[in-house]
Structure 1
Amino acid sequence: MPPISILVFDIFGTVVDWHGSIVREVQAVYPQVDADAFARAWRERYQPAMQRVRSGEIGWTRLDELHRGMLEDILPRFGLEHLDEAERAHLNRVWHRLNPWPDSVAGLARLKSRFTICSLSNGNIGLLTNMAKRGGLPWDCVLSAEVFHAYKPDPRVYLGAAGVFDVSPAEVMMVAAHQDDLAAARDCGLATAYIERPMEFGAAHIKDVSPDPANTYHARDLLDLANQLGC
């Protein structure tokens, strides 16, 4: 097998804490809202919204626009239907302002010393770039489903990443906190590394992070992955 040279990363939940970031911002601005339930309700619409694109029900639509549609769906449930356009637009861009997990920046910096590292997220390029700028994420390259006009787990995303760097899929490793993402990457010939993020959905909703022997690596966090990879 050729050596791994490229690490591509899922972002939401793997590199950044989407739940905690949304909860903190909603609590600060709308203290009357159950911020935990709000964050989870918004995220629950993520896969169904992308499935509309995957199925061909709607044409290619960036995640920013999908997030806005999901937001419009849940605002009445949480008593926020009174928000004006500026407030809605600002709240929708919370996804651009997600905070990295405590280990992410240092872990990525170490991994970058040996590998080319890049995002491979369903988030659009503008969203990922703004997030990286704000959070200090040291990507060599920002790749997004937007580049391929296909949402993971479509093979075009994983194979497209290998194509961007003109390497075989076996030279690329997908790093994610979601086993379904990794399984789809493996089906395309990529190596896989699972990152434990038990708090992805908040302290009240601890996630199962049991190892899957099909993965190439299983790590507690990105610093642990750097240790395992000799970085």
Structure 2
Amino acid sequence: MDVQALVFDVFGTVVDWRGGVAREAARLLGPDVDAAAFADAWRARYQPALDRVRSGERPWTVLDALHRESLPEALASVGVDGVTGDVAGELVLAWHRLDPWPDAVAGLTRLRRSYVLAPLSNGGVRLSVDLARRAGLPWDLVLGAEVAGHYKPDPEVYDSAPRLLDLPPSAVCMVAAHTGDLAAARGRGLRTAYVHRPDEFGGRQVPPASDPDADLSVASFEELATALGC
């Protein structure tokens, strides 16, 4: 691919959202709570919350606020009848403390030798910065929903990357573990690379091993770097 920049989905593609949220839930809620079930329940409320913003039902709202609003229902689903404000705040910050997949930092470091790298995430700017600082993610800049004022898969998010990087869409490659994200990016003229993340949902949901419509399908960021000659 003749591209100059790679932009990345983050939750599930770069970092392990389920493992990180479950880890923090176990720490904050105690051993009697099914922390993995809580992570799944909270994540199940993620897309519906974004949809209400995308549809215009509610004005633009950053992801941290959406997570805070959906937290009581997620807690109730695992038998927790509310938490203090301090604990609720710490649970929201769990999304800022996620661990990268084992190949992520090494693969990104190789890719950055030849390409501009940026997250193109639904996470807010502060969330993206916190994840990068904690994990050592070598981004050149932060792009995504808060920058564009839209949530994926709104076209404005994908259009923002080439516009802000002063590149044609075909010179930007979207990297994601989710075929729907990649399909939306292709619809805006971006190139695409699929990364297989079989453990994103703890093995309960097994994603396809490849995306036949993507320019590349790989099993890791290290493999992506090799495929791109880095």
CA shift for structure 1 position 4: 0.3
Go from structure 1 to structure 2 and tell me whether the alpha carbon gap of 1:82 and 1:50 turns closer, same or farther (over 3 Å shift).
closer
Which residue of the partner structure matches residue 108 of structure 2? 108
Does the 8 Å contact 2:103/2:222 carry over to 1? yes
In 2, the alpha carbon distance for the partners of 1:38 and 1:75 equals 7
CA shift for structure 1 position 206: 4.0
CA shift for structure 1 position 199: 0.4
Structure 1 vs Structure 2 CA RMSD = 1.2
Which residue of the partner structure matches residue 186 of structure 1? 186
In 1, the alpha carbon distance for the partners of 2:22 and 2:32 equals 12
- TM-score normalised by L of structure 2: 0.96
- One-letter code of the match for 1:14? T
In 1, the alpha carbon distance for the partners of 2:137 and 2:163 equals 23
Which residue of the partner structure matches residue 228 of structure 2? 229
1:75 aligns with 2:78: no
Which residue of the partner structure matches residue 6 of structure 2? 7
Structure 2 alignment gaps of length 5 or more: none
Matches within 5 A, 1:10-89: 10-29=9-28, 30-89=30-89
Which residue of the partner structure matches residue 201 of structure 1? 201
In 1, the alpha carbon distance for the partners of 2:202 and 2:77 equals 21
- One-letter code of the match for 2:168? S
CA shift for structure 1 position 114: 0.5
Does the 8 Å contact 2:16/2:200 carry over to 1? yes
Identity value in percent: 51
Q: Deviations over 1:135-187 (max 9, x none)?
A: 11110111121011100001111111110011110000000000000000000
Does the 8 Å contact 2:41/2:77 carry over to 1? no
Q: Deviations over 1:191-220 (max 9, x none)?
A: 0000000000013x1412232221000000
Matches within 5 A, 1:130-141: 130-141=130-141
DSSP 3-state at the match of 1:75: helix
CA shift for structure 1 position 45: 0.7
Structure 1 alignment gaps of length 5 or more: none
> Larger deviation: 208-217 or 155-164?
208-217
DSSP 3-state at the match of 2:160: helix
Number of positions where the alignment pairs a residue of Structure 1 with one of Structure 2: 229
DSSP 3-state at the match of 1:141: coil
Which residue of the partner structure matches residue 119 of structure 1? 119
In 1, the alpha carbon distance for the partners of 2:90 and 2:209 equals 37
In 2, the alpha carbon distance for the partners of 1:125 and 1:69 equals 19
- TM-score normalised by L of structure 1: 0.96
Give runs of ≥4 in structure 1 deviating > 4 Å: none
